[in-house]
Amino acid sequence: MTIALYIVLNLILLIISLTMIKSWGIKLLPTFASIFLLYCCAATFYDTDVELIQIKFLCDVIILLPSTLLILISLKRQNNIQILKEIKLLIVVIVSIVSSIILSLFYKKDSIFIFKTLFIGPIYESLFFHEIVFKLVKKEYELKKKIFTFFILSLLIGFSHGSLELFALCSRIIGFFLLYLIRLKWNENSKFWYVVLIHFTYNLLLIIYGIMKIGV
């Protein structure tokens, strides 16, 4: 998938997501701008030129800064900034960073992909989709419509992640949908770290499987 097509898919994701939240307005623009910047950052997945890794990493950090700020603004508007103070969540974040560094030392060519898969994906995507958007949808709909909306969002997220290979696509859709259901079951902020941990573990297993497959 080309970078242009990748970004177009994510624009479609944002537009449809906006239409699914009835009370959206200017105040929600920071929320959706944050994920758009995040996926622009993720577009560098598709080029693994070793000589450009440092430049790409710097560009990603620059893109992540406004994305991080916008996510913080969204959490604050939901009176939910305290979720970032959970000790268990901080432990998962530290583990994801350490894992990214260790694996990147052995697989330098794929270091950016590893960093995004083990850190940006579990942390940023979980905060956006399974916390900020989750709270918006939960506030708007009754239970059946919530589940339907979460399923549609999971479909969109699955298709927007790049690979359209059947197994990978289905696993992403099912995985994101199950995380929504888990979040619906455990609505308390103290349980949010479970979602991040599951997301991280799944991505880590995918990377390990990819490494073993290449080794074979």
| HEC sequence for the chain | CCHHHHHHHHHHHHHHHHHCCCCCCHHHHHHHHHHHHHHHHHHHHHCCCHHHHHHHHHHHHHHHHHHHHHHHHHHHHCCCHHHHHCHHHHHHHHHHHHHHHHHHHHCHHHHHHHHHHHHHHHHHHHHHHHHHHHHHHHHHCCHHHHHHHHHHHHHHHHHHCCCCCHHHHHHHHHHHHHHHHHHHHCCCHHHHHHHHHHHHHHHHHHHHHHHHHHHC
pTM of the model: 0.80
Task: Indicate the pLDDT class of residue 162, thresholds 50, 70 and 90.
Answer: low
Look up residue 199 and give its two tokens.
């997301």
Q: Is the pLDDT of residue 33 over 50?
A: yes
Backbone angles phi, psi at 174, to 5 degrees: -65, -40
Distance CA 135, CA 149 (A): 12
Tell me the per-residue pLDDT of 56-67, one tens digit each, with 9 for 90 and over. 677 777 777 888
CA of residue 87 relative to chain centroid, distance: 20
Question: Residue 74 pLDDT more than 70?
Answer: yes
Q: Which two tokens stand for residue 191?
A: 């349980």
What's residue 6's pLDDT? 59
Helix 87-106 to helix 192-215 angle, to the nearest 10 degrees?
10
Mean pLDDT of the chain: 77
Q: What is the predicted pLDDT for the residue at 216? A: 46
Percent of the chain with pLDDT over 90: 10
- The rounded distance, in Å, linking the Cα atoms of 56 and 58 is 5
